[in-house]
Structure 1
Amino acid sequence: MHASPTWDPHQYLHHSTHRTRPFLDLLHRIPELPGGGSPRIADIGCGPGNVTVLLTDRWPGARVTGFDNSPEMLSAAQQYAGPTAGGGTLDFRRADAADWTPDERYDLIVSNAALQWVPGHADRFADWLDRLAPGGTLAFQVPGNFTAPSHALLAELCESPRWRDRLDGHGRRYVHILGPAGYLERLTELGCAEVDVWESTYVQLLQGEDPVLDWTKGTALRPVLTALGGDPDAAREFVGQYRDLLRKAYPPGPHGTVFPFRRIFAVARTHAR
């Protein structure tokens, strides 16, 4: 069991436009909610809150709570807390998706690029669906690019002789991610009225020097940086080696660096009773 990574909200918000787009695509596929003009919504793994606030654009009167286990992320999210322009409310609380069980009925439980950090997260679906209002929705998206060079090279480097004793396993934390068919089967077996699962590959054009490294510093590289946090020299050495591998895998072009990113989406609605 590895310690939870230390998050850097500022670093995570680099490339925020690319990171936000999948959430907007997910929102467009969520059906109307049963809570009328003031639906109750939970955002699991809300991070710095920049996408949580988008829920109040879709449902202006919603009562939204963002949950996260990172003090750093929750601190950054507090800027969005309070009454919303549409008459709803937005607040943030500390909770871990690995054991979070809703203590009230929700019309929507949503999660954006967070469940990949939770081994066995699909086993939590039954509890979450059980606490949805009739006709409520569970919706999430997770990265599905863990065999891409950005992640495969990270795993190989962690398992190399130089780093194995300190970092073995840190690069392969995502084997619990299901494929689209796996999520479809799991949610259908749980008796949902409607299940919509799909995948998209976003062919992103990143700008700047070593932009793929910059991207991973906000996400996949966080566990390694946390593990090496007490040894700055080792951290610099590791990041330098990883940077060199990424430069070969993702060479810059005349207009930027192409970084394909696959994501898996699911929207499951419960029966209206």
Structure 2
Amino acid sequence: MADWNAGQYLKFEDQRTRPASDLIGRIPLAEIRSAVDIGCGPGNSTELIVDRYPGARVLGLDNSPDMLAKARMRLPEVTFEEMDIAAWNPGERYDLIFANAVLQWLPDHPRLLARLATCLETGGCLAVQMPNNLQEPSHRLMQKVAQEGPWADKLAAASQAREEIGSFEDYHSWLLQAGCSADLWQTTYVHTLADAGAIVEWFKSTGLKPYLDPLSPEEQSAYLERYREEIEKAYPAQADDKVLLRFPRLFFVALRQ
């Protein structure tokens, strides 16, 4: 995919940071020496780690130059590196691996979790949050518009960009096999947004990217207009003229035994 747009992502910074804040609040470690934020984005999640563990050595990893530029401006004292998480193979172990809204872009979660667990110190923590919204109207309509438009051939594989999230039982089993105990939960956030156009703006920097990146600028505009029309039908205005965006997210905090 093309580079991520940090400015677009940060239009909804408060709402996007809330799940990361909820996640870090469930980490049971009182003190740590080292942490890595994989898929750190513009550093909003990394900042939470720095604030919670001011004495820790913190590393942020992301594959987006634009996201990393924003992260370095935000936290100049933290080391940030450009890295493809799928190929990440550190030469050390960490007390905390924090992964906020990133693992859904990576395949084969049983093998992935086993690999990440080996990067933890004994007693270390893997803290993960993943959007679990592929069955929400917002995402089903992305696929509908892709299939019905003149760009159908170009977007045939777009829906495969994200990994299908497993069940609680799946992640419990996979983490157990990786040598970890796990605390799992799901939260459905309900975001009050201005209108259907705001929902489109929300997903332009995340879920819509696999659908927009293969298209020309003219096709992108046409796709987004069709998508906005569908979103207006699926998310009707409330009494205050606002719309409500349901957003389920799966969480787990795993401790290496």
TM-score by length of 2: 0.94
Of 77, 84, 87, 1:99 maps to 87
Partner Cα separation in structure 1 for residue 205 and residue 239 of structure 2: 25
The 3 A distance-change label for structure 1 pair 33 and 107 is farther
Runs of 4+ more than 3 Å apart: none
Give how far 1:131 is off. 2.1
Task: Give the aligned partner of residue 218 of structure 1.
Answer: 205
CA contact (8 A) 1:34 1:134 kept: no
SS in 2 for 1:65: strand
Q: Which amino acid counterpart does residue 155 of structure 1 have in structure 2?
A: Q
The 3 A distance-change label for structure 1 pair 46 and 168 is same
Q: Does 1:176 align with 2:164?
A: yes
Alignment of 1:156-235 (within 5 A): 156-160=144-148, 162-192=150-180, 194-208=181-195, 210-228=197-215, 231-235=216-220
Partner Cα separation in structure 2 for residue 213 and residue 164 of structure 1: 20
Q: Does 1:244 align with 2:232?
A: no
CA contact (8 A) 2:196 2:228 kept: no
Task: Give the aligned partner of residue 104 of structure 2.
Answer: 116
Partner Cα separation in structure 2 for residue 34 and residue 128 of structure 1: 20
Q: Does 1:259 align with 2:253?
A: no
Task: Give the aligned partner of residue 86 of structure 1.
Answer: none
- Residues 203-262 of structure 1: CA deviation (Å, up to 9, x unaligned): 11112561111111121111222211xx22111111111110011111222331101100
The 3 A distance-change label for structure 1 pair 237 and 161 is closer
Give how far 1:161 is off. 5.2
Partner Cα separation in structure 2 for residue 94 and residue 63 of structure 1: 17
Q: Percent identity among equivalent residues?
A: 40
Give how far 1:179 is off. 2.2
Q: Does 1:46 align with 2:40?
A: yes
Question: Which structure 2 segments of 5+ residues have no match?
Answer: none
Of 63, 73, 90, 2:67 maps to 73
TM-score by length of 1: 0.89
- Residues 158-212 of structure 1: CA deviation (Å, up to 9, x unaligned): 12252211111213433432222211111012221x2111111111111256111
Partner Cα separation in structure 2 for residue 181 and residue 5 of structure 1: 34
CA RMSD in angstroms comes to 1.6
Partner Cα separation in structure 2 for residue 270 and residue 57 of structure 1: 23
CA contact (8 A) 1:134 1:270 kept: yes
CA contact (8 A) 2:96 2:124 kept: yes
The alignment covers a number of residue pairs equal to 256
CA contact (8 A) 1:98 1:121 kept: no
Give how far 1:147 is off. 0.5
SS in 2 for 1:153: helix
Alignment of 1:83-94 (within 5 A): 83=77, 90-94=78-82
